[in-house]
Amino acid sequence: MKSWGGLVALLAMLTLAGCGETPTGRSQLALVPEALMAEMGGDAFAEMRRSRPVARDPAANRLVQCVAREVIAAAEARYPEAGMPEAWEVVVFDDPSPNAFALPGGRIGVHAGLLQVAETPDQLAAVIGHEVAHVLADHGNERFTQQLGIKAVLLVVGLVSEGELAGEGLRQALGIGARLGIALPFSRAHEEEADQMGLAIMAKAGFDPRHSVALWRNMAKAGGGQPPEFLSTHPAHGSRIEALESHMSDAMAAFRAASEARCTG
């Protein structure tokens, strides 16, 4: 009984220690060490590169690399207090689905099919900004902690091994499905936060934030029917657009400031 009492006290202490805030000020519980999250994200990305074809189109690769570079620099400038990966790896996968994802440790994957829906560099920046925001806000760690519960806490204190946590649960926590590269939805709170942060990031980078609304209208057309909002962790397209527009005034001010700096710098 004493050992269990000590363990409960230790878990409570670790839980309190793991409480923090995201860059937007939302309370968050993320207990898995960042180094371990980065390692697992790197392993998952390496597996994708082995199992999925990489796009060879030079124009597509130049566009994605250019937009990603600007977005990453802006993310670091806009959210300097957030933990940024030391380096980012960006890969365009030869996949027709309109998708993108980012993994802990600074790995970004963009499906070639996304470039058929994101019709402008600004729209592409909206997607990449959103995915980078998931990493900066530590959403994968938070979801990992939520999904694995006490096991994630035990991992911190070394009472279970990383191997015991591997498998589909890990992939889901990182936002990828059993078929590697197929993104799984984060929680609605995570998606809304990534939308808000992504809007601020793209504006800081000098991309027109109004194109984020155009992007999601394109997504709605490409995706066809969508289940009712209460049945999905993803916000419905209409709600997503409404939320983006509610932050548009601040984003446009940041965009104008970035545009003026470009002209005068």
**131 is annotated as an active-site residue:** yes
Any residues with CB less than 8 A from the CB of 40 and at least 6 apart, and which? 104, 162, 170, 174
3-class DSSP state for residue 21?
Answer: strand
Maximum Cα–Cα distance across the chain:
69
d(CA 20, CA 36): 18
The type of residue at 7 is: L
d(CA 185, CA 111): 16
The upper half-sphere exposure of residue 229, i.e. CA atoms within 13 Å in the direction of its Cβ, equals 8
The type of residue at 72 is: I
Q: Do 170 and 161 form a contact (C-beta atoms < 8 A)? A: no
Which tokens hold the place of 37? 């999250």
- For 220, counting Cβ atoms within 10 Å of its Cβ (0-12 exposed, 13-18 middle, 19+ buried), the class is middle
Dihedral angle sign, alpha carbons of residues 106, 112, 114, 118: positive
Check 39, 119, 131, 164 and give the catalytic one. Answer: 131
Pairing mode, strands 100-103 and 107-111: antiparallel
Which tokens hold the place of 49? 């590169």
258 closest CA partner among 208, 205, 212: 205
Catalytic residues: 131
